[in-house]
């Protein structure tokens, strides 16, 4: 069964089932999960589903893991099979596209084309998005600092300020984003000081809020929540260091406390556009 992702402990498991790539479903899932931050969701894709057998295997796994399914199945027989079997097995399954397609068919008086993946027509914009996503993965957490000078946007901030989720979200808007963790014990990449400050965005967060997020992250990893990483003293030290770096860089600083990824991304785009 072609299920992608799925590693580590989580608060909730969500399967995104699609007869295409599953991009639409995953974006919707992550937007919904953001409303329950700092709860963690393990989002697993089952893309390019073409038969009932694959659906059956996903349902069995979802049942055994008490998971939720969100599906974006365009082909009617697959959509109907998912709805029928999910109800019979008492698995929570949400049909994202079906009701809307049916409403549009009634409104327009014509049948849908029933072709998966039409929103991924291979045009220039699609290729730019793919390139931006690959860029975000390659230059995440300053694994390769050469990406800093190639990026449209560079995000800097301490751990758990949503640098990676923001990089991926902005990549889907076709922006090439690199991000750099600010850790007092690590030397900053010299490339960071060669950038125009208009390309750099600093991310900060309230001490109390970060303390909660880091404790939850440690729990999710099966570690004690009293580790140094999550102590108030350590967090304050890191935030003071990050503030000094951002002042050196002269960049815009955004407080991500209590903000969803989409809200922060919107503020970032306002900043870089100008």
Residue set of the binding site for ADP: 157-164
Closest-CA residue to 72 (of 46, 43, 97, 45) = 97
Closest-CA residue to 83 (of 94, 67, 74, 99) = 94
Beta-bridge partners for 205 = none
Q: Which two tokens stand for residue 172?
A: 């889907």
What is the number of other CB atoms lying within 10 angstroms of the CB of residue 163? 26
Percentages helix, strand, coil for the chain, rounded to the nearest 5?
55, 15, 30
In which order are the strands placed within the sheet that holds 177-181?
Answer: 177-181, 153-157, 200-204, 252-255
Give the end-to-end CA distance of the chain in Å, rounded to a whole number.
46
Answer yes or no: are the C-beta atoms of 213 and 257 closer than 8 Å: no
Question: Would you list which residues are annotated within the binding site?
Answer: 157-164
What is the number of other CB atoms lying within 10 angstroms of the CB of residue 82? 24
């Amino acid at each position: 069964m072609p299920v992608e992702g799925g590693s580590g402990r989580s608060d909730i498991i969500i399967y995104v089932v699609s007869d295409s790539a599953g991009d639409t479903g995953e974006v919707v899932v992550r937007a919904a999960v953001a409303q329950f931050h700092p709860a963690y969701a393990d989002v697993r894709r089952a893309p390019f589903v073409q038969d009932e057998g694959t659906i059956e295997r996903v349902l069995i796994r979802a049942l055994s893991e008490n998971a939720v399914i969100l599906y974006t199945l365009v082909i009617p027989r697959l959509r109907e099979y998912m709805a029928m079997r999910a109800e019979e097995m008492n698995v929570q399954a949400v049909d994202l596209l079906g009701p809307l397609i049916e409403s549009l068919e009634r409104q327009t008086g014509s049948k849908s084309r029933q072709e998966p993946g039409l929103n991924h027509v291979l045009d220039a914009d699609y290729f730019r998005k793919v390139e931006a996503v690959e860029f975000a993965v390659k230059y995440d957490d300053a694994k390769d600092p050469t990406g800093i000078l190639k990026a449209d946007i560079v995000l800097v901030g301490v751990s758990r300020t949503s640098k990676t989720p923001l990089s991926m979200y902005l990549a889907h808007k076709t922006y090439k984003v690199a991000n750099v963790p600010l850790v007092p014990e690590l030397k900053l990449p010299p490339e960071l000081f060669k950038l125009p400050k208009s390309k750099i965005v600093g991310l900060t967060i309230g001490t109390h809020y970060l303390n909660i997020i880091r404790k939850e992250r440690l729990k999710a990893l099966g570690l004690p929540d009293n580790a140094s990483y999550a102590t108030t003293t350590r967090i304050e030290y890191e935030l003071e260091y990050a503030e000094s770096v951002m002042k050196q860089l002269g960049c815009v600083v955004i407080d991500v406390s209590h903000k969803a990824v989409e809200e922060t991304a919107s503020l970032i785009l306002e900043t870089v556009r100008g």
